[in-house]
Amino acid sequence: MQTVTRGGEPVEVSGRFLEKGDKAPPFTLTDAELKDVQLDDYAGKRKVLNIIPSIDTQTCAMSARKFNERASQLDNTVVLVVSADLPFAQVRFCGAEGLDDVSTLSCFRHPEFRQLYGVSLDSGPMAGLCARAVVVLDEEDRVIHAELVSEIKQEPDYDAAIGALDA
């Protein structure tokens, strides 16, 4: 069990968070059209998994915007914004913000994702949601960057995530 903080208060995070060099476990998540998608659906592409607690929070919204902005500059790369939000909320947010270079995926039907990727918030008022994290995968689903953000209210290190794709 790991711990992050939310406003300085400890929050338990369960599951094993991925590390650089790990092979990403397969997942099934729900897309904007309520269809189940799998990691294999993105085979051959580099993937930035922007894992967030909820698209309806300021920091999560900012990270979706920033990765959307940078995504248009990346070759053979998809940005997947993963949260427990319902796909309806994810679509509403992206439409209102004009975000078209990210794909939103929900773990609302597939809570096992949180354990598989080591981002399951298990205590505090956000229990049941995902911790804030960024996992970058190469074309063969190997982890080339992983950050579990230590304070939920802080943004991830965008430069490190994008830099891993340039290495």
Catalytic center residues: 60
Neighbours of 163 (CB within 10 A): 13
> Which tokens hold the place of 132?
């804030």
One-letter amino acid at 50 equals: N
Contact 19, 108 (CB under 8 A): no
Report which of 47, 71, 23, 22 is spatially closest to residue 139, judged by C-alpha positions.
47
61 beta partners: none
